[in-house]
Amino acid sequence: MARASAGCAAACGRFCWVFRVARPTGPPSAEQRRQPACHIADCQSATQPIYQSALQPPGGSAGSTAGGLSARALLRPVTDAGHSCAGQPVRHLPPACDRAMKKRPLILVTPATQPRGVELGDPALSVSRAYLEAVAEADGVPVVTACQPEPCYVRAAVARCDGVLLTGGEDLQPELHAPDLPAALRATVKRVEPDRDAFELALVREVFRRRKPLLAICRGHQLVNVALGGTLWVDLPAQLPGALRHQRPDRLHGAVHEVELAPGSRLARLLRARRAGVNSTHHQAVARPAEVLAVTARSPDGVIEALELAPPHAGALPWFLAVQFHPERLVQSDPRFRALFRDFVRACAEQAGGDGASCSSRQAVSRGNSVTRSLAQP
């Protein structure tokens, strides 16, 4: 029989055949309580697939109850007493895994829209696994959302999550920040996503209203600035001809240029540095920052690479950071960027546990209201 992780094995007395993890028979001892909590993935990493285990219990064929629950028993509804309707005890996760699972906050992740998906060629959503894996490795649970700008959906989505991650993607509609854009610059704008723009603008407004942690990456960084009243460079090569070459999709996972970090900023504290090498995959950028935001990183050519809430508005959200680069693609080459996701997920976990207690003071609410009033209408 495959064994579970050391944390599970030390904390439990015998193994459950479905998950190959220990199932306690009573209250944990003092020694068991000192053992570190395991992650569910640790319990499963050295085992056969759960599906296979469920259908092939030890000592019996598929469908048999010898040595464990049968496939039919697994499908029986469970009563509140922890037994199936057939009266057979239900095998639960060990307490260590259950505690770890309950502590993981739900992070709402925004996807890109696609006119033709891979399944049937109809409209679809797309999100890089790098975002999801970065959140999951930081002990968060990423949940990809539909791009539905309807107010009722946005309110429900933000209410049920513990934090929001705005991802990268296509250009924003120029009408949102530069309605009088010359035709030559308008021609540089790539495919736009009107439904996504409307949804994410409404999402940002609701995040500030409910005081949820917010991490914005690349397009998300630009969108937050526009939502709060800032503007964008529509095309860096055309509008800033002396700028670095910022559109480098050939270097997704490595540093393209350095950024200088503002002393005392959240980003500088997390990376424990004054400079850091970052990737670069954009042709648009923040031009004029919104009044409620402060620039906390710039590339050597002066392009804004990170934004945080300005000190007078720092209490508007329990946690906020917007970056132009893609930290989710740098965690392997530069492990310092893991700290960014860990700190974000930590703030989301506090939100889940304290229901916004970290931003519940009257002063913080007042600051949040001032930021909310500055949000641009979609």
Active site residues: 218, 326, 328
DSSP 250: G
Q: Which residues contact 50 (CB under 8 A, 6 or more apart)?
A: 18, 19, 44
DSSP string computed for 309-326: E-GGGGGGSSSEEEESS-
Are 271 and 176 contacting, i.e. CB atoms less than 8 angstroms apart? no
Residues for the chain: how many in total?
A: 378
Q: Which residues contact 116 (CB under 8 A, 6 or more apart)?
A: 122, 123, 124
Query: Is the CB of residue 287 less than 8 Å from the CB of residue 254?
Result: no
Separation of CA 212 from chain center: 12
Answer whether 137's CB lies under 8 Å from 101's CB: no
Across-strand partners of 16? 21
User: Which stretches does DSSP call E strand in 316-373?
Assistant: 320-323
E strands of 254-350, at which residues? 257-261, 275-278, 285-286, 293-298, 304-309, 320-323
Cα angle 89, 93, 95 (rounded to 5 degrees) comes to 110
User: What is the rounded distance in angstroms from the CA atom of residue 291 to the CA atom of residue 377?
Assistant: 16
Using alpha carbons, select from 197, 224, 377 the residue that is nearest to residue 292: 224
> How does DSSP classify residue 83?
B
How many helices (H) and strands (E) are present in the chain, helices listed first? Answer: 15, 15
Q: By the 8 A CB rule, do 247 and 191 touch?
A: no
User: Measured at the alpha carbon of residue 217, what is the angle toward residues 211 and 219, in degrees to the nearest 5?
Assistant: 105
Strands 275-278 and 214-217: unpaired
| Strands 112-114 vs 293-298: parallel, antiparallel or unpaired | unpaired
